[in-house]
Amino acid sequence: MGPVLALLDEADAERAQIVARARRDAGRVTAAAQAEAAAIAADAGRRAQAAREAAEQQVLGAARDEAAAAVAAAMRQAAAVRELAGQRMPPLVDRAIGLIWQLGTDDP
């Protein structure tokens, strides 16, 4: 029975070595997977930040363009009002002066 027990002891020792090696291998695989996952997450974070920055620049550019268009429209409208006022003011001033003169000559 001694040889059978010796074989069992050898098999048990070999099993223990296999289990220990498997645990070490699993630890290395797990560490490598964790490192790769961290690298993927970091890369995704950088890409997301770059996308946010690009979107921000696009929105800011569109807002600047819209503001410039609004300013240009306001300038055109102000120029039109000035032109209209320039056309209407002289006759209004002439009429006001005429009324003042007329009031001055109507007094007894």
How far apart CA 54 and CA 56 sit, in angstroms, is 5
Residue 64 CA neighbour count, 13 Å, CB half: 6
Angle, alpha carbons 5-11-13 (nearest 5°):
105
What is the tally of helices (H) and strands (E) in the chain?
Answer: 1, 0
pLDDT tens-place values along the chain, 108 residues long: 777 677 677 888 899 999 999 999 999 999 999 999 999 999 999 999 999 999 999 999 999 999 999 999 999 999 999 999 999 999 888 898 988 888 877 655
Q: Whole-prediction pTM value?
A: 0.53
